[in-house]
A and B are shown apart, each in its own frame.
Chain A
Amino acid sequence: MSRRQRLVLFSVTGCGLGGFVLWGLHGLPAFGNYAGAYGRLFNSVGKSERHVSNIVGGIVFDFRGFDTLGEEFILFSSVMGVSFILRSSSAVKDQSPLDAVSSDATRVVGALMVPVTVILGLWLAAFGYVTPGGGFQGGVAIASAFALLWIATSYRSYRKLTPPDVLDAVEGAGAASYVVVGLIGLALDGAYLSNFLPLGSAGTLASGGSIGLLNWASALEVAAANVLLYREFFQEYIQTFPEAQRGRG
């Protein structure tokens, strides 16, 4: 197909698609004008029925907790797939790549940011149903601290601190405990993922009943899954570095 033909084809289909998009946009509700019924309902009953001050947390881990279970297992299976494909290339077992950090600023600021990021992640996870945040965000932030550790120190220390056996176990335990909390709800209340703990008082850590348990379960799963994911990708990346001489490293 020549360039001219491509342009003609593009302008015809582009105009058609643009027309459809404009037509679709024309029928939308005005900006900021929310017409759904669900959002208003959750906002009005969320706090009184589940005692959570972050309604989003209540929706994610209670009202629509089953959807979150599905998302947990999407992450679980995709990390499993990545590990399955990349872990086979384990020809780099005892390598000592020349990846020393050359910048003092990177080393110092990076090392200082590691504990800050861990605490930020733990805070995001712990207060997920009180203030904005939650298990997912907290888990990814904790995993970012591990990534920072690699950036500030070396691949070897990252490798030492992230034994895959432990991470696999933590990830599995996180995913499994979400399922188990759901089953306890089924046994005690007759519905899967039903909230079975005392609800406590909204705005404190002791609120939301079993939302807290589900929140921590997903934080564990997400943190371990992301560290595992980084581990596999870093291992691929580190193969582009030259090896240190044998006997010196």
Chain B
Amino acid sequence: MIILQIFAFSAAMLLGILVVFSHDPLRQTIVNGVFGLALVVLFVVLQAPDVALSELVVGTVAFPLVLLATIARTKDTERPQ
């Protein structure tokens, strides 16, 4: 159990740092989805299944979808004319 907890905490920490260090918003969205999945694992390991389910449905579906649509829509206007 302790090994699982150490693994889950380290995965969440590493992926969180990766999210901050990815510069391309598109890549950042995908890495953020993986970070969300790491949080799901962490919540399950800490025996909080309700929170894990919330994080699962919001962090891996709703949030990335909204972000991806926004990135696709704003990409063209960001370029200098």
Q: Which residues of A contact B (CB under 8 A)?
A: 54, 56-57, 124, 132-134, 136-137, 140-141, 143-144, 147, 226, 229-230, 233-234, 236-237, 239-240
CB interface residues, B 28-61, toward A, < 8 Å: 49-50, 52-54, 56-58, 61
Pick the residue among B50, B56, B57, B73 that contacts A56 (CB under 8 A). Answer: B50
Apart from A143-B62, A234-B69: 12 A-B pairs, beta carbons within 8 A: A133-B50, A137-B50, A137-B53, A137-B56, A140-B57, A144-B57, A144-B62, A147-B61, A233-B70, A236-B70, A237-B68, A240-B73
The listed residue with most B CB atoms (<10 A of its CB), out of A141, A147, A230, A233, is A233
Please, how many residues of chain B have a CB less than 8 angstroms from a CB on the other chain?
A: 19
B66 at the interface (CB under 8 A from A): yes
Q: Which residues of B contact A (CB under 8 A)?
A: 49-50, 52-54, 56-58, 61-62, 65-66, 68-70, 72-73, 75-76
Pick the residue among A132, A133, A144 that contacts B61 (CB under 8 A). Answer: A144
A236 to B50, CA, bound (A): 32
The listed residue with most A CB atoms (<10 A of its CB), out of B53, B57, B68, B72, is B57
